[in-house]
């Protein structure tokens, strides 16, 4: 029997391991000396790498390559495009931004919209946006401010729960009002077979096996053009200044292509792992709650809690046992805060505080899931023993 590795990585939604194709593309690009803006041969070689990546990412997403702009990640992408200046030409500036309550924090704040023009779209207990209520609100704002005056931000897949929003239905509901749809596609692209249809897609390389610190905005049309956020040398056709991260961009294209090419196998694999995991969780503790269990979900994501078990304590114990998992809560600063996603879904605070998120990927095995279940079983049993002692 092969010995188990010392660590079990079940946190692919936080970041996915670097794909070998991305590593190879990056290593090759790191040896290119030129600055992509330099007109000499060295510069042209670097430019060639960036433009080749743009072509391939555009083709993968089904958008014109010239409408793909590289950024330092999805956070910067959101900061750039969530702006009243992102209008379609006829109406400046946009009058309102509607943001789904379960958006990632990089979208939730609304960024360059004045706070009074930002409002939240509620979700139901499964984390799904009520499309009819959203359409009614957009219709009301459109009556007040005119066609094309509203921006709506809805993510395709939630990073904590994996819940998938009905993006096609949302796009259809917004179309008669000319509302601009921004979709944070970070967790969905490369993990689901279809690329969400939206006016603006936000993307991040490191969730699909690319490097950290690279992302992109993909516009469906050239008519949408928010005021640049980062100004300087005028790179990215003046939309995003700063010397391009050539190696990172090369890695992003390679990773995205690889993820899309294998997404159907990845989905089938993730479903099998999820079945083992969720059946095991229910067996270990009958009170286990899986958040968003009845909604369409990314098959690689399970966000669950056992009432009364604090996520922080569980995370530490599991980490000591070799398990890399995440709390379902935001913990960017290293501190576990209560999750706005679970709160928006109406989860009781006591249950939400115990939320753990497991997310798998191509390299995750049944053995990994079983190792997690064994560690979780031990943790729950130790707690029960302490409670009777
Ligand atoms: N949107 C979602 C759904 C995410 O999961 C993340 C990363 O955690 C981001 C946006 C931010 O992406 P980046 O790390 O590229 O800034």
Give the pLDDT confidence score for residue 111 in this predicted structure. Answer: 85
Nearest to 140 by CA among 119, 114, 155: 119
Atom of ligand 1 lying closest to residue 215 CA: 15
Q: Residue 92: how many CB atoms within 10 A of its CB?
A: 12
Ligand 1-lining residues (CB < 6 angstroms): 73-75, 104, 106, 155, 159, 184, 186-187, 204, 215
Q: What pTM, to 2 d.p., does this model score?
A: 0.95
Q: Look at the block and give the residue holding tokens 């990585």.
A: 9
The sign of the torsion formed by the CA atoms of 334, 339, 341, 347 equals: positive
CA dihedral sign of residues 230, 191, 252, 257: negative
CA-closest candidate to residue 216, choices 336, 58, 92, 355: 58
Q: At what angle do helices 366-388 and 263-284 cross, to 10 degrees?
A: 20
User: What are 61's two structure tokens?
Assistant: 């997403």
Q: Is the peptide bond before 93 cis (omega within 30 degrees of 0)?
A: yes
Return the active site residues.
Answer: 331
**Is-contact 370 7, C-beta < 8 A?**
no
Which long-range CB contacts under 8 A does 57-60 form with residues at least 24 apart? 57/203, 57/216, 57/218, 57/252, 57/253, 57/256, 58/218, 60/195, 60/253, 60/256, 60/257, 60/260
Determine the pLDDT at residue 90.
Answer: 55
Q: Whose CA is nearest to atom 15 of ligand 1?
A: 73
pLDDT at residue 337 in the model: 67
Report the pLDDT value the prediction gives residue 243, as an integer from 0 to 100.
Answer: 97
Residues of the chain with pLDDT under 50: 331, 333
Strand boundaries in the chain, DSSP class E = 8-9, 68-71, 96-100, 118-121, 150-153, 180-184, 200-204, 215-219, 289-290, 301-305, 323-324, 326-327, 356-359
Helix axes 246-261, 20-30, angle to 10 degrees: 160
DSSP string, 157-196: B-TTT-BBP-HHHHHHHHGGGTPEEEEE-TTTBTTBSSPP
| pLDDT at res. 4 | 58
The secondary structure of the chain in percent helix, strand, coil, rounded to multiples of 5, reads 40, 15, 45
| pLDDT tens-digit series, residues 318-360 | 999 999 999 965 545 455 567 999 999 999 999 999 999 999 9
Give residue 167's pLDDT: 98
Counting ligand 1 atoms within 8 A of each CB, the residue from 76, 107, 156, 159 with the most, and so the one to mutate, is: 159
Bridge partners (DSSP) listed for residue 326? 357
For residues 280 and 355, give the distance between their C-alpha atoms in angstroms, rounded to a whole number.
16
Instruction: Please give the backbone phi and psi of residue 225, each rounded to the nearest 5 degrees, phi first.
Output: -150, 90
Q: What is the pLDDT of residue 157?
A: 98
Distance 84 CA to ligand 1 centre (A): 22
């Amino acid at each position: 029997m092969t010995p188990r590795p010392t660590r079990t990585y079940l946190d692919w939604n936080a970041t996915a391991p670097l794909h070998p194709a991305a590593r190879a593309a990056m290593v090759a690009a790191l040896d290119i000396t030129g600055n992509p803006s330099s007109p000499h041969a060295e510069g042209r070689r670097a430019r060639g790498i960036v433009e080749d990546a743009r072509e391939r990412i555009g083709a993968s997403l089904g958008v014109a390559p010239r409408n793909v702009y590289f950024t330092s990640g999805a956070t910067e992408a959101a900061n750039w495009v969530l702006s009243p200046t992102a209008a379609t030409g006829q109406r400046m500036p946009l009058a309102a931004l509607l943001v789904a309550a379960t958006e990632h924090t990089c979208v939730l704040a609304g960024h360059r919209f004045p706070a009074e023009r930002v409002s939240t779209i509620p979700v139901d207990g499964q984390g799904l946006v009520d499309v009819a209520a959203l359409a009614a609100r957009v219709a009301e704002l459109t009556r007040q401010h005119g066609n094309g005056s509203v921006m709506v931000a809805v993510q395709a897949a939630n990073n904590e729960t994996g819940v998938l929003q009905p993006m096609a239905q949302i796009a259809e509901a917004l179309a008669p009002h000319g509302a601009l749809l921004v979709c944070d596609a970070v967790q969905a692209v490369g993990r689901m077979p279809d690329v969400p249809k939206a006016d603006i897609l936000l993307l991040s390389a490191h969730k699909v096996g690319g490097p950290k610190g690279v992302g992109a905005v993909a516009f469906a049309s050239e008519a949408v053009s928010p005021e640049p956020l980062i100004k300087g040398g005028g790179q990215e056709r003046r939309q995003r200044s700063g010397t391009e991260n050539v190696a990172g961009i090369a890695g992003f294209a390679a990773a995205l292509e690889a993820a899309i090419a294998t997404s159907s196998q990845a989905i089938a694999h993730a479903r099998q792992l999820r079945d083992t995991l969720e059946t095991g969780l229910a067996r270990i503790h009958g009170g286990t709650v899986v958040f968003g269990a009845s909604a369409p979900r990314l098959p690689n994501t399970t966000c669950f809690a056992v009432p009364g078990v604090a996520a922080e304590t569980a995370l530490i114990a599991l980490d000591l046992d070799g398990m890399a998992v995440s709390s379902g809560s935001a913990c960017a600063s290293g501190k576990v805060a209560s999750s706005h996603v679970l709160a928006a879904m109406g989860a009781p605070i006591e249950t939400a505080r115990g939320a753990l998120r497991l997310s798998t990927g191509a390299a995750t095995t049944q053995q990994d899931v079983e190792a997690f279940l064994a560690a979780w079983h031990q943790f729950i049993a130790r707690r029960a023993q302490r409670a009777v002692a």
